[in-house]
């Protein structure tokens, strides 16, 4: 089976529209989600935005290749196709994916401008990154392509070969579970709340870098000159905005902005 360099989807016998292998698409979404989550946590917890900037560039290149060259030549799609090579392909319509990935490209361009070009740190890039993470998670974990569903709502007459046969399938009553399943989930959640409270009142888990593991009773505080702003200008720059206070992220915000 050959593939032209510039095409979107494969034209196969027995299919009225170009198609893509849904298994490879979901695998590539999982790869992107994993890398995105790692880099996002680096930024959120450690204040290191460099990995996020690198990922944003890679994300933008990935979706540009998918849309303007060929999905089969996009790096994450190549790895995803290799990972599922031993599984029978599940072909879905390519037009829906083109629409969905166009949304991904717009999000990628937004992140590139905000995070890479402007170096913006604030709720707007968290919202954009969070949206990307949510879309990738839904695609990889549940096979739910939000962009595809938007395409089908806007152009229902053209929707063909939806993932999971969702275009033509009407689930029977009770397909999502029974009341007993819901009750079990509630009981499970209550048990986990109890476990959380029990753990919170128990002894702290000591890691390899805990002071007591090395015979140190206390950790010496950092030098005062390293913790406090050096001038009035720095004091103004390091003033925590209200949105960070509302989120309880004062310390994280200071760390992100070099104020600690």
pLDDT at 229: 46
256: left (phi over 0), alpha (psi -120 to 50) or beta: alpha
For 65-76, write each residue's pLDDT tens digit.
999 999 999 999
CB-count exposure of residue 226 (10 Å: 0-12, 13-18, 19+): exposed
**pLDDT tens profile 124-140:** 888 988 999 999 999 99
The answer to whether the CB of 109 falls within 8 A of the CB of 119 is: no
Find the radius of gyration of the CA atoms of the chain. 24
For the chain, give the percent of residues with pLDDT over 70.
Answer: 85
Strand ranges inside the chain, DSSP E: 19-21, 91-93
* pLDDT value for 224: 44
∠ CA 97-101-107, rounded to 5°: 155
Backbone torsions φ then ψ of 91, nearest 5 degrees: -85, 135
pLDDT at site 221:
46
Q: Half-sphere exposure of 46 toward its Cβ, with a 13 Å CA cutoff?
A: 10
Interval 180-207: pLDDT, tens: 999 999 999 999 999 999 998 877 665 5
Q: What is the pLDDT of residue 217?
A: 47
First CA to last CA distance, the chain: 58
Under-70 pLDDT residues of the chain: 1-3, 157-158, 204-232, 246-248
């Amino acid at each position: 089976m050959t593939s032209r360099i510039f095409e979107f989807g494969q034209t196969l016998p027995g299919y009225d529209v170009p198609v893509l292998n849904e298994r490879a698409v979901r695998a590539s979404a999982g790869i992107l989600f994993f890398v995105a989550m790692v880099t996002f946590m680096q930024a959120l917890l450690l204040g290191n935005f460099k990995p996020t900037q690198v990922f944003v560039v890679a994300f933008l290149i990935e979706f540009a290749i998918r849309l303007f060259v060929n999905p089969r030549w996009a790096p994450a799609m190549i790895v995803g196709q290799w990972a599922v090579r031993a599984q029978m392909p599940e072909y879905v319509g390519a037009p829906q994916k083109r629409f969905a990935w166009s949304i991904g490209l717009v999000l990628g361009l937004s992140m590139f401008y905000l995070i890479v070009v402007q170096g913006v740190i604030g709720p707007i890039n968290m919202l954009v990154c969070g949206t990307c993470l949510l879309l990738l998670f839904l695609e990889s974990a549940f096979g739910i392509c939000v962009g595809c569903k938007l395409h089908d709502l806007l152009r229902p007459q053209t929707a063909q070969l939806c993932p999971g046969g969702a275009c033509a399938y009407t689930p029977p009553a009770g397909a999502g579970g029974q009341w007993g399943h819901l009750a079990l989930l509630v009981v499970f959640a209550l048990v986990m709340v109890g476990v959380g409270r029990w753990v919170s009142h128990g002894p702290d888990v000591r890691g390899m870098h805990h002071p007591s593991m090395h015979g140190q009773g206390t950790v010496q505080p950092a030098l005062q000159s390293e913790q406090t702003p050096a001038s009035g200008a720095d004091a103004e720059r390091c003033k925590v905005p209200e949105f960070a206070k509302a989120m309880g992220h004062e310390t994280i915000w200071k760390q992100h902005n070099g104020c600690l």
